[in-house]
Amino acid sequence: MPLPNPLLDFAEPGRAGLPPFAAIRPEHIAPALDYILADNRKRRDALLAATRDYSWDNLAGPMEDLQERLQRVWGPVSHLNAVVNSEPLRAAYNAGVPRIAEYSAEIAQDERLYAAYKAIAARADYASLSPAQKKIIENTLRDFRLGGAELPPDRKARFKEIQKELSTLAAGYSENVLDATQAWELVLTDSADVAGLPPSALAMARQTAEREGKKGWKFTLEAPSYIAFMTYADRRELRQRMYEAFVTRASDQGPNAGRFDNGELMVRIVKLRKEAAALLDYENYAQYALQTRMAKTVPQVLDFLHDLAAKARPAARRDLEMLKDYARAEHNVERLEAWDLAYYSEKLRQSRYAFSQEELRPYFPETRVVPGMFEVVKRLYGLDIRPVQGVETWHPDVRFYEIRDDAGEVRGRFYVDLYARPNKRGGAWMDDCLSRRRRNGDVQVPVAYLTCNFSSPVDGRPALFTHEEVNTLFHEFGHGLHHMLTRVDYLGVAGINGVAWDAVELPSQFMENWCWERESLDLISGHYETGEKLPEALYRKMHAARNFQSGMQFVRQLEFALFDMRLHSDYDPDGSKSVQQLLDEVREEVAVVVPPAFNRFQNSFSHIFAGGYAAGYYSYKWAEVLSADAFSKFEERGVFDSGTGREFLQHILEQGGTREPMELFVAFRGREPSIEPLLRHSGLAA
């Protein structure tokens, strides 16, 4: 055993407690990996040598222990790299990434293990295993095949090398996006330059500048700052500068052209994925990726997306024409540019509905939204959520909570890290810290990370959220509930583990519905000064504007999904067509807004190049069909109908990956999903 190391102290499954974040240093990472990888290999060999009569108890269960030991070392490292990135931490993380990939590939290709799992599946007493145990065995056998276990030695070695290189490239891609985001700023000192911006955005920009000893207002490419500037700043040429900096991040264009360029990395990633799929005799990477999804073929996904595009594109065209007409008639703008869209869209929204997103912000203080969200969960599922004090975290802004059921049992715990800050990856996500497991009669309580990048408190006020940020918070908490409320006692299919990627967004998108209902809005809203609930007049305006430009938003998501699917199915990275040309083709097919030639959206499309959504971005729309239809059952029975809430808890949230997603959906809804609720919710039904 090496010198005392906080990562190794936390590593043993069954060890109580939480990651010792305050004690973890970059220099702990390599020694912890050295030990855990070597010891896991030794333990795996010992398990295989101990018997030839393999069973769940003497092999599959102990292999879950080894998997969790590694996760307990690497999980906190990966999380810290995302939320408090630094040069030493990044260097240690990057050194570990290919080692983790190499180990994972080694496990996936171990012929001895593969044979042992086959032997378990062939046992006379296999039928006596629980459904969860059998599902883990089935998934593991499938993953051995997908991991190259059946390949001849030369192809197996190449497949392993590819996985190792891909992990390094994904980390590099993500770092380039973070560095490019942080490398640009807009500091303004003339009040004329910030005309049109609301007080909340100005206060945030002033606080950002003061923090660095600068005068005036500092705007950045982090989401709260960028979105506010593009939506409200009157100075068109400054919006153009901001837009260009944002859409050229990590590319060969824009103010930092070539400095953090992901161009070559993207092509290399696609090329390696294609090669890996070919080694396993799949036509393309998308077909390989779909082996673990609800959707089974590339044509099925493309037909799904094209069908939605046919329904949404006419509405998107109408949205755009209406915006152009408005800008021309009311603001004398003959040609609407990409940096004008958010600005004039907000003006049009105010004109049509006498309503601005900024009007909502005072009614959604963090101090009402977070407790209100917990109350929504209590009414739906009978669960109580309370803060826990004194828990060690990675930043003073982080909060910690636990979930108890009506019997007093702790069902889950979670960290909440809400605000944007330097050295923190952009976006919002849920990740697992600990998964539920039963070992020696004791249940390990699942723990989640909920991470967002919202506006922070300013001038002594609580953080005031936009309604869109409230939606995002509910979305991520839906993922968290899926992870934490599982009743499955085996790691491989507990919570979100083992859930098909195109079904994993169901619980998250489902939760967003409670951001729109009057009954739930009364719980999550309250003016930060007076406590007044969201006024009825404002609520009606918000609801009337709910599907404002929904056609444009819909086709934008379809553009991303089609680009992803085509990139991983029919694109040739060795051919003459560039990634940009492929994206242009997709836009020609479905988009109504064509961005300027310098736009390099793909260079910061982390979801598919660094975030696990490769050939899977369609999942958002696929799961949206499921979530809209699931919510329609509440529309029929009442949005806080506790019986329906308990049914969703029982059939969806508690089941993890134990059964196929369609089976679980049918168990809850009584039938297969219908697309009609999604079209109705999106204002496209007509």
Binned at pLDDT 50, 70 and 90, residue 12 comes out as confident
Residues 303-343 pLDDT 10s: 999 999 999 999 999 999 999 999 999 999 999 999 999 99
Q: What confidence score (pLDDT) does residue 480 get? A: 98
With a CB cutoff of 8 Å and minimum separation 6, the contacts of 338 are: 243, 247, 593, 595, 596, 599
Query: What is the share, in percent, of the chain residues with pLDDT greater than 90?
Result: 97
C-alpha–C-alpha distance, residues 160 and 145, integer Å: 13
CA 493, 494, 497, 503 torsion-angle sign: positive
Q: Mean pLDDT over residues 230-257, rounded?
A: 98
What confidence category does residue 19 fall into, taking pLDDT thresholds of 50, 70 and 90? very high
Asked if residue 403 has pLDDT above 90, the reply is yes
Report the pLDDT value the prediction gives residue 686, as an integer from 0 to 100.
63
**In this predicted model, what pLDDT tens digit does every residue of 344-379 receive, in sequence order?**
999 999 999 998 889 999 999 999 999 999 999 999
Query: In the chain, what percentage of residues exceed pLDDT 70?
Result: 100
Res. 14: pLDDT tops 80: no
pLDDT of residue 440: 86
How many residues are recorded in the chain? 686
State the pLDDT at residue 13: 80
**How would you class 606 by CB atoms within 10 Å of its CB: exposed for 0-12, middle for 13-18, buried for 19 or more?**
buried
Fold of 362-487+510-533: Neurolysin; domain 3 (1.10.1370)
Q: Say if residue 557's pLDDT is above 90.
A: yes
> 505 catalytic, yes or no?
no
Q: Rounded to the nearest 5°, which phi and psi values hold at 109?
A: -110, 5
1 has a pLDDT exceeding 70 = no
- The whole-chain average pLDDT of the chain stands at 97
Multiple choice CATH, 6-108+110-146, 1.20.950.20, 1.20.1370.10, 1.10.468.10, 1.20.1050.40 = 1.20.1050.40
Report pTM. Answer: 0.96
Contacts of 4 (CB under 8 A, 6+ apart): none
Is pLDDT above 90 for 15? no
Q: What is the pLDDT of residues 376-391, one digit of tens each?
A: 999 999 999 999 999 9
- Statement: residue 65 has pLDDT above 80: yes
Q: Is the pLDDT of residue 2 over 80?
A: no
Enter the tokens of residue 341.
């869209």
Tokens standing for 404?
């108890």
Q: What is the pLDDT of residue 16?
A: 83
Radius of gyration for the chain, computed over Cα atoms and rounded to the nearest angstrom: 25
H/E element, 560: helix 550-567
Mean pLDDT of 572-594: 97
- The residues spanned by each domain of the chain are 6-108+110-146, 184-247, 362-487+510-533
**What is the Cα–Cα distance from 438 to 491, expressed in whole angstroms?**
9
What average pLDDT score do residues 28-47 get? 98
Mean pLDDT of 495-515: 97
> What average pLDDT does the segment 263-269 reach?
98
- Exposure letters 539-569 (e unless 16+ CB within 10 A, then b): bebbeebebbbbbbebbbbbbbbbbbbbbbb
| pLDDT (average), residues 1-21 | 88
pLDDT of 31 above 70: yes
What is the C-alpha end-to-end distance of the chain, expressed in Å?
Answer: 67
* Choice among 366, 476, 512, 559 that is catalytic: 476
